[in-house]
Amino acid sequence: MIRVGIVGGTGYTGVELLRILALHSGVEVAVVTSRADAGLRVDALYPSLRGYINAVFSTPDIETLDQCDVVFFATPNGTAMQMAEQLLARGIKIIDLSADFRLKDVQEWSRWYGMEHACPDLISDAVYGLPELNREAIKSAQLIACPGCYPTAVQLGFLPLLENNLINVDHLIADVKSGVSGAGRKAELAALMSETGESFKAYAVNGHRHLPEIAQGLALVAGQPVSLTFVPHLTPMIRGIHATLYGQLSGAKLDDIQALFEQRYQNEVFVDVLPQGSHPDTRNVRGSNQCQISIHQPQGGQTLVVLSVIDNLVKGAAGQAVQNMNLMFGLQEDAGLKVIALYP
In a 3-state reduction of DSSP, which class is residue 67? coil
Q: Are 247 and 171 in contact (CB under 8 A)?
A: yes
How far apart CA 313 and CA 237 sit, in angstroms, is 13
Closest CA to 282 of 340, 239, 232: 239
How far apart CA 216 and CA 134 sit, in angstroms, is 14
Q: Are 17 and 340 in contact (CB under 8 A)?
A: no
Contacts of 107 (CB under 8 A, 6+ apart): none
Candidates 68, 146, 149, 291; catalytic one: 149
The DSSP 8-state label assigned to residue 300 in this structure reads G
Sheet holding 143-145, edge to edge: 57-58, 27-33, 2-7, 70-73, 93-96, 143-145, 127-128
Residue 68 among the catalytic residues: no
Q: Are 298 and 305 in contact (CB under 8 A)?
A: yes
User: Exposed, middle or buried by CB within 10 Å (0-12, 13-18, 19+), for 171?
Assistant: middle
Between the alpha carbon of residue 122 and those of residues 50, 144, 334, the distances in Å are: 38, 11, 28
In a 3-state reduction of DSSP, which class is residue 32? strand
Q: Which residues are catalytic?
A: 149
